[in-house]
């Protein structure tokens, strides 16, 4: 699939911990895969900021920290899937691989465990964004 040079995809990164948000941004960089457009980021530290951003639109992927406080990304992910029409794909960062059942409960499209593994994160994000772009492509014609 060909992309215009000015096309970007917006990734919302939610965590109350600035270091976690920075790990995600650093791991993904400007482009997680050669076949994808460049990424722009919207960092959110609170649940109301996430909901406001999604209601506004233009978000292509949400990366939610399952360990965030006071509202964890797992519960927030489930809320978004229930309440946001056309909710973009959700990737949750879980505390440990054994918490994958919680990711399934949250209706997340993918899960990566802490600490952030850049290769695993880029792979999961690439898969989710490709699927999102494939769904969008017929409407653009």
Mean pLDDT of the 126-130 span: 97
Distance CA 67, CA 85 (A): 25
- Residue 13 tokens read as 């990164």
Average pLDDT of the residues in 1-15? 79
pLDDT of 141 = 45
Split at pLDDT 50, 70, 90, the class of 5 is low
Contact 13, 21 (CB under 8 A): yes
Q: Check residue 139 and give its pLDDT.
A: 52
- Number of helices (H) and strands (E), helices first, in the chain? 5, 5
Amino acid 135: pLDDT: 86
Q: What is the pLDDT, as a whole number, of residue 137?
A: 67
Cα–Cα distance list, 36 to 40, 50, 130 (Å): 12, 24, 7
Task: With 0.85 as the threshold, say if the pTM is over it.
Answer: yes
Residue 6 predicted with pLDDT over 90: no
pLDDT tens digits, residue range 62-105? 999 999 999 999 999 999 999 999 999 999 999 888 888 899 99
Work out the average pLDDT over 115-129.
96
Query: What's the pLDDT band for 138 if we cut at 50, 70, 90?
Result: low
Q: Is 76 helix (H, G, I), strand (E, B) or coil?
A: helix
Residue with the bigger pLDDT between 3 and 33: it is 33
Give me the architecture of the 8-140 domain, per CATH.
3-Layer(aba) Sandwich (3.40)
Structural domain boundaries of the chain? 8-140
Residue 75 burial (CB count, 10 A): 16
Contacts of 31 (CB under 8 A, 6+ apart): 37, 38, 39
């Amino acid at each position: 699939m060909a992309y215009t040079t000015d096309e970007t995809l917006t990734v919302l990164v939610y965590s109350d911990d600035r270091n976690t948000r920075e790990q995600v941004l650093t791991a993904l960089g400007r482009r997680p895969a050669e076949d994808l457009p460049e990424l722009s980021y919207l960092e959110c530290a609170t649940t109301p900021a996430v909901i406001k951003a999604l209601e506004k639109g233009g978000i292509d992927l949400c990366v939610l920290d399952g360990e965030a406080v006071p509202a964890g990304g797992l519960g927030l992910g489930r809320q978004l899937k229930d309440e946001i029409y056309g909710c973009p794909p959700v990737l949750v960062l879980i505390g440990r691989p054994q918490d994958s059942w919680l990711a399934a409960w949250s209706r997340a499209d993918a899960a990566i465990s802490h600490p952030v593994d850049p290769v695993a994160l880029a792979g999961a994000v690439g898969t989710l964004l490709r699927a999102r772009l494939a769904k969008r492509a017929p409407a653009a014609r």
